[in-house]
Chains A and B, each alone.
Chain A
Amino acid sequence: MSEGRRAPGALESEVMAALWAAGRELTPAEVQSALGSTLAYNTVLTILGRLHDKGRLIRRPAGRGHVYWPAEDEAVFAAQTMRATLTGRPDRERVLQQFAAALDDADAAALRAFLEADRP
């Protein structure tokens, strides 16, 4: 897809997700490859800078540039809020638009078969 079709803020979301998926500090070049897309290095740098300015990323100098990692307070707080709101309450989960939930064994087997058959 062309990068221009993304919703505003979508790139920031992808960068945050990539850093969390990595689970360690990343250089801008590593973020660029972790995004798995054809994003320009300068674009990645701009987004990292913007997220750092917002306080969502922490960075320290490394080599000739910086390495970045997510500010964890926000994620820990979000996890606590989610857990307190949702855990053990089926009626509460039902009100959400969840990406995927509630699977029985037959469906699970069919989905596994789909992913198996699909493996490149």
Chain B
Amino acid sequence: MTVWVYVPIVLSAALALLAGPIAARSAPAAGALALAGAALTAAVTSTASLILLVATLIDDLPPPLVARNEPGRPQLPQPVPDVIAITAIVLLMIALVRCGTDVRRRGEVHRRLREAGRPGEGGVVIADWAAPYAVAVPGRPGHVLLTTGLIRLLTPAERRVVLAHEQSHLSRRHHRITAAAAVAAALNPLLIPVRDAVSYLVERWADEDAAAAVGDRHLTARSVAKAALATLDRPAGAPDSSPGRGSGVNGMHGARQSHALSRVRAMTTPAPRANRAGLIALGLLSLAFIVTDAAATSDFITFAAAWLP
């Protein structure tokens, strides 16, 4: 085996480094789709690398099944050290468990929140709850869940922004894009920054749609700022009686980066143009994942052919 098998893993780290700068400079729709696509490619190829590394353990099978190095004959190709192969097994197990957990939890939350609306209703469902929430619940047709806590903070025009933002999530099926990025990050934790960049761009995308719908970028910026500050005053996860700081949304998310300020800033400047350099970089990187994965697979086939009788 040569180094090719490790390259998708190294490239995943490179993609993670690129994700932030690209997200900051991209038009949201193209950026979200390109980053999610690159993340999926990275996750699939780096998982394939782990599988190849595990498969190199075939040289440890007993002799009737595999060949043996014999004096006087050319040496069989070297497998990777067993310690690496064993590590790959562990990483692969963790990846599959994380992926299963993410998919199950996502499905469960969406299914339970769909029950909050009436079947086939569409439109908005209002929850009489003081915590400030606005959530797009995907489905057919899907609905927007708003809490009275949020509604009462906003002016009629700001409520229109929130509704248009959530409708954008539903009609553009943003949950598929974020789910793809989340599965990629579950399979390969190096991609967590890419997942976060995708979720930022998807919010930006809905902000741009909302601004277009109400015809006012500044109003959109105000609405985002107000709603974000509301979650601070009354963390959504805290009980109504004790909206304590450091618990609820803010405390729970801990390391999770806030996007609200960047979104507000982006709305106070003109809509970004397509970032061609960023998209080309992502395209080339995705291609590199596929090429190195192919090279690693071909390496493995050579290796296996030599060892198997």
User: Which of A's residues lie within 8 Å of B, judged by CB?
Assistant: 1, 5-7, 9-10, 12-14, 16-18, 20-21, 23, 34-37, 70, 72, 74-79, 81-104, 107-108, 110-112, 114-115, 118
* Chain A hits for B253, CB < 8 A: 90, 93-94, 101-102
Given A86-B109, A95-B106, 6 additional A-B pairs, CB 8 A: A18-B156, A74-B126, A85-B112, A90-B252, A107-B261, A115-B226
**B227 touches A (CB below 8 Å):** yes
**Which A residue sits closest to B253, measured CB to CB?**
A102
Total number of B residues with any Cβ neighbor in A under 8 Å: 83
Confirm or deny: B70 has a beta carbon within 8 angstroms of a beta carbon on chain A. no
Number of A-B contacts (CB under 8 A): 210
Binding site secondary structure of chain A: helix
Q: Which of B33-41, B217-225, B271-279, B280-288 is the interface stretch?
A: B217-225
Residues of B close to A34: CB separation below 8 A: 156
Residues in B with CB closer than 8 Å to A13 are: 123-124, 144, 163
Q: Which of A75, A77, A112 contacts B229 (CB 8 A)?
A: A112
Establish whether residues A98 and B260, one from each chain, have CB atoms under 8 Å apart when the complex forms.
Answer: no
Interface of B is mostly: helix
Cβ contact within 8 Å between B249 and A99: no
In the bound complex, how far is the Cα of B106 from the Cα of A100, in angstroms?
Answer: 19
Q: Is the CB of A110 within 8 A of B152?
A: no
Q: Would you call B125 and A74 a contact (CB within 8 A)?
A: yes
Chain A residues within 8 Å of B239, by CB? 87
Residue of B nearest to A15 (CB): B124
Is B166 a contact of A78 with CB atoms below 8 Å?
A: no
For B115-137 the 0/1 string (1 means CB < 8 A from A) is: 11110001111111100011110
Chain A residues lying within 8 Å of B237, measured Cβ to Cβ, are: 86-90, 93
6 nearest CB pairs, A to B:
A36-B156, A13-B124, A99-B134, A90-B252, A100-B228, A78-B127
Q: Which of B115-173 contact A (CB under 8 A)?
A: 115-118, 122-129, 133-136, 144-148, 150-152, 154-157, 159-160, 162-167, 169, 171
